[in-house]
Amino acid sequence: MAEAATNLPVKKSTAPAKAEEWTPFESLRREIDRLFDDWRLPSRVLGFEVPRASRAVWQVAPAMDLVEKNDAYEITAELPGLDEKDVEIKLSNHTLTIAGEKSEEKEEKQKDYYLSERRYGSFQRSFRVPEGVDADKIDANFTKGVLTVKLPKTTEAKAEKTIAVKAA
């Protein structure tokens, strides 16, 4: 037999409805999101041109460090879970592109359950290589999940000249 419907009392507010309720935490969250969305990297770092990117791009691409040394530029990237066969580096038209792809499949069968997981992901970062890099001697090493790309400077780029300062 079906139960009889029960009417519950509904309390109606006498205050006028607002299109948007003000809450302090929601306002704070919007401000923080705006700050991070507006945040941009400088367009040039150590002579490398870095493309402008929003926060969403950095979530899928690994962070990379650019360091200028006396005889070379060095790019390092932490790529956990990848092997050297999963990473590809190309140099074309003064642009160095580092790309990688990870795919992982896990399957587990037990008496009580069956587990199947698949994870896929890829990234690509490109840098405009500054003048004075010897493109024929670029070297890349991959050790324990860390990629190191060395871009040696040409002899002219390594030359340093001291300018004497004269009193006026």
Query: Among residues 82, 102, 61, which one has the least CA distance to residue 144?
Result: 82
DSSP 87: E
Per-residue pLDDT at 147: 94
Written as tens digits, the pLDDT of the chain (168 aa) is 555 555 656 555 555 555 555 567 777 777 777 766 655 545 555 555 555 554 444 456 788 899 988 889 999 999 888 889 999 999 998 899 999 988 888 888 888 888 888 878 888 898 888 888 998 999 999 998 899 999 999 888 777 788 899 998
Q: Is the pTM of the predicted complex or chain greater than 0.75?
A: no
* Type and span of the H or E element at 156: helix 155-158
Per-residue pLDDT at 57: 44
Per-residue pLDDT at 55: 44
How far apart are alpha carbons 65 and 16 in whole angstroms? Answer: 55
> Residue by residue, what is the 3-state secondary structure of 55-85?
HHHHCCCCCEEEEECCCEEEEEEECCCCCHH
Paired tokens of 146: 């860390």
Q: Going edge to edge, which strands form the sheet with 114-128?
A: 44-45, 48-49, 114-128, 95-109, 87-92
